[in-house]
Structure 1
Amino acid sequence: MRLPPPEREPLTFGVEEEFVLADPVSGGVALAAPRVLELLDGEPAVTPEFLRFQIETATGVRTGLDELRADLLGLRGLVADAAGHAGCLVLASGTPPYGELPGLPGVTPEPRYQALAARFPSLIQQAGTCACHVHVGIPSPALGVRVLAGLRPWLAPLLALGANSPLAHGEDSGWASGRYPLWSRWPTATPPLDWPDAATYAASVDDAVRRGDAMDAHGVYFYARLSPKYPTVEIRISDVGLTVEDAVLMAGLARALVVTILEEARAGVAVRAVPDRLVLASLTAAAREGAPGHGVDPFTGELRPQRLIVDGLLEYVRPALLAAGDLAAVERQLAVVRAGETGAQRQRALFAGAGSPGVFVAGLAAATLAGTSTPAARRAVPVQDGCSPSR
């Protein structure tokens, strides 16, 4: 059933981005987040993360992609300038590309994070992955749960498009999103279920906390969830985008998905059942191969080029993108991705041409700041022609 473009006001949305702080010479992680935050003097849009080499930003609540883009550019520049004064670089990468991770000594000294480390000590050594979280406003928890069910088959193409973590410990991991298998080790890092109502969803969250799989509702890491803090659906599947335009693409598609699923719910269209095994198989294929490779069609289980699965996603949300005025921006960035410019591909090109960890992280930092006009962006030194991901 093809629904007409929605006529309602655009849903609000916002983006949270997590970044790696890196040493500009060795390329390894820099435990500098406390100093960066001190230099930012209480800036509310920038907060600490689980480990001291991570830092998180949050945009305002927006209705348009242009507003969102401006927030993302401003926040990346703000953090990068503070990081420069702290002697480190800001990298938009789903995993730290170089060096050994600090484990327990790297945990941020806040009670919640210390308690989390004590609860899950075996997971700390590989922790520190960085994601892009897109929040989309919803009318009610009941409709939010319906959205989560409808999102299940589309999480894999979002992951494929947003894959940006092919490197770890100075080597290619073989995954376009090396973050995905690491993050999925957490007990609640799973796809959302097809919950029948909001009460069942809440009971599932309570059960996870009661079992000890999470400390509280904030620690339930479903790939898409009802935010425990805001009246939003929070889509958490993608790696942090290498560039702001990557993040804008993810936000545009995420909102269009939520709008489309809500329109279906209002029109009485039933959720198309997708088996858990196919959802998981599609996610694994997307994380392994990214957008250029093959994926598992979550509706049929067939192996298909991921670009065709992405085409299906675009066709599904096209009316919502048109109604919001987002279609041109989304298609423009999809064309960049299809031309071989995914985050994972750009990181691999940088890695092949860099010659040293310092040159690589300088190029990655330059890509992270592409489009900004900050002193940090002007100081960033990309690698030689033909290898820069910001070209």
Structure 2
Amino acid sequence: MRTVGVEEELLLVDPETGEPRAMSAAVLARADRDDRDHDDHRDDRDGPGADVFEKELHRQQLEFATSPRSDLGELAAEIGRCRARAVRLAEETGCAVAALAASPLPVSPSISFHPRYAWMAEQYGMAVHEQLVCGCHVHVSVGSDDEGVAVLDRIRPWLPVLTALSANSPFWQGRDTRYASYRSRVWQRWPSAGPTEVFGSAERYRRRVAEMVATGALLDKAMIYFDARLSERYPTVEIRVADVCLHAETAVLVAALTRGLVETAARDWRAGTEPLGHSVSLLRLAAWRAARSGLSEDLLDPVTLRPAPAEAVVRDLLEHTRDALSDHGDTERVREAVGSVLRRGNGARVQRELLERTGSLRDVVAECVRLTRS
């Protein structure tokens, strides 16, 4: 059974004002002290150790990564433990965490101290300072680079549906952007970001990556920010299109659907089914539509790339991955989670309804802090 792991980026905020706070170094230092003081009891207290937490590009962010999991229940439990530990560590250093893909309130981001980040700031200028966004990255195991690239070629048109389900960034610098996932639009400012053409083989994929790095526009292979890519560190494909999800169960849903897509694509490859030949320009439009509308309006049908109701497209994704979900034992959990998101709405809808009810972006952040904690 394929394993799946999740990386989540969380926003550090002031518990009183809701404004982002540059506290990641303090939180990480607290995590290190916590591990030294309670090493014998770490599993009882928090589950995974401090090495699951890492600094991110901006000091207002905190990232964690789960272990590879075969069972979704175990994955859900680990996400819950990681979020709970992040909440505790933040509170002990005088801030709070919110699973928000972009800050609703105005912020002046500050870049973390690292030679890599300094190079990026020099190379990309303002685009780096505007990248205070939090995503959810999903790793799914593959048997080889050949299988991995075959998967990348075949999951391309389905990725915008994951963006729509996870969309959780409607506000930017104190204003409604009119997007459900403005994070994904900000992310597209990186020169290597976005959908890719069909590669056809691992050799062609590696050649394209090498050609891109050779231009000098990228520091190294780790700056290949495709919507989906081969991991340089693990035997996985890494899918990077989702906002960090307001509700932890939505993150588990995204992980389950991602694994279903990967398994379905691998089976199609082994059966000799060719990938859909959609152009990158049309896939960009599908991604834009998902970012703009979320689940509130039409999406582009992954097969025809013509407008279709969002709920119908989500149901098509369930049908497309039906056998893989069933074989992993994920069907019932996924159907229940999809029904919940369609009824309640994604994080973008929840945030907008909170603003309509309270009239205050500060109150929106406060409620999102509570939801993250719960």
Normalising by structure 2, report the TM-score: 0.93
CA deviation profile, 1:53-97 (whole Å, cap 9, x unmatched): 011000011101001001100000101111111221111111111
Report the alpha carbon displacement of residue 193 of structure 1 after superposing the two structures with TM. 2.1
Report the alpha carbon displacement of residue 278 of structure 1 after superposing the two structures with TM. 2.0
Shift in alpha-carbon separation, 1:298–1:325, aligned structure 2, 3 A: closer
Report the alpha carbon displacement of residue 355 of structure 1 after superposing the two structures with TM. 4.0
Report SS of the residue matched to 1:93. Answer: coil
Structure-2 separation of matches of 1:299 and 1:356: 41
Structure-2 separation of matches of 1:93 and 1:204: 33
In the alignment, is the contact (CA less than 8 A) between 1:292 and 1:340 conserved in 2? no
Matched, 1:64 2:55: no
Q: Percent identity?
A: 37
Which residue of 2 is the match for residue 162 of structure 1?
166
Structure-1 separation of matches of 2:104 and 2:352: 11
Report SS of the residue matched to 1:133. Answer: strand
In the alignment, is the contact (CA less than 8 A) between 1:192 and 1:225 conserved in 2? no
Structure-1 separation of matches of 2:330 and 2:302: 26
Which residue of 1 is the match for residue 182 of structure 2?
178
Match of 1:220 among 211, 219, 224: 224
Alignment of 1:49-128 (within 5 A): 49-102=56-109, 106-128=110-132
CA deviation profile, 1:102-145 (whole Å, cap 9, x unmatched): 3xxx1110111122212211212311111100000000001100
Report the alpha carbon displacement of residue 357 of structure 1 after superposing the two structures with TM. 4.2
Structure-2 separation of matches of 1:110 and 1:278: 37
Report the alpha carbon displacement of residue 351 of structure 1 after superposing the two structures with TM. 1.9
Q: Please list every run of 5 or more consecutive structure 1 residues that lacks an aligned counterpart in the other structure.
A: 1-9, 371-391
Aligned length: 358
- Say which structure is richer in helix: 2
Match of 1:36 among 23, 27, 33: 27
Shift in alpha-carbon separation, 1:160–1:117, aligned structure 2, 3 A: same
Report SS of the residue matched to 1:235. Answer: strand
Structure-2 separation of matches of 1:276 and 1:120: 24
Choose 359-368 or 70-79, whichever is displaced more: 359-368
Normalising by structure 1, report the TM-score: 0.89
Structure-2 separation of matches of 1:164 and 1:39: 28
Report SS of the residue matched to 2:25. Answer: helix
Structure-1 separation of matches of 2:226 and 2:294: 21
Alignment of 1:134-213 (within 5 A): 134-213=138-217
In the alignment, is the contact (CA less than 8 A) between 2:256 and 2:330 conserved in 1? yes
Q: Please list every run of 5 or more consecutive structure 2 residues that lacks an aligned counterpart in the other structure.
A: 36-49
Which residue of 1 is the match for residue 46 of structure 2?
none
Alignment of 1:246-265 (within 5 A): 246-265=250-269
Structure-2 separation of matches of 1:276 and 1:359: 40
In the alignment, is the contact (CA less than 8 A) between 2:69 and 2:75 conserved in 1? yes
Choose 189-198 or 138-147, whichever is displaced more: 189-198
Which residue of 2 is the match for residue 276 of structure 1?
280
In the alignment, is the contact (CA less than 8 A) between 1:23 and 1:30 conserved in 2? yes
Structure-1 separation of matches of 2:274 and 2:118: 43
Letter in 2 for 1:82: L
In the alignment, is the contact (CA less than 8 A) between 2:111 and 2:129 conserved in 1? no
Report the alpha carbon displacement of residue 340 of structure 1 after superposing the two structures with TM. 3.3
Report the alpha carbon displacement of residue 11 of structure 1 after superposing the two structures with TM. 0.2
Structure-2 separation of matches of 1:284 and 1:298: 13
Structure-2 separation of matches of 1:210 and 1:122: 23
CA deviation profile, 1:329-382 (whole Å, cap 9, x unmatched): 111110011113211111111222234444322200111122xxxxxxxxxxxx
In the alignment, is the contact (CA less than 8 A) between 2:121 and 2:129 conserved in 1? no
Structure-2 separation of matches of 1:111 and 1:34: 16
Report the alpha carbon displacement of residue 297 of structure 1 after superposing the two structures with TM. 2.1
Report SS of the residue matched to 1:278. Answer: helix
CA deviation profile, 1:176-206 (whole Å, cap 9, x unmatched): 0010110001101111321021111111111
Match of 1:17 among 8, 11, 29: 8
Report SS of the residue matched to 2:254. Answer: helix
Structure-1 separation of matches of 2:121 and 2:187: 15
Which residue of 1 is the match for residue 326 of structure 2?
322
Report SS of the residue matched to 1:44. Answer: helix
In the alignment, is the contact (CA less than 8 A) between 1:131 and 1:239 conserved in 2? yes
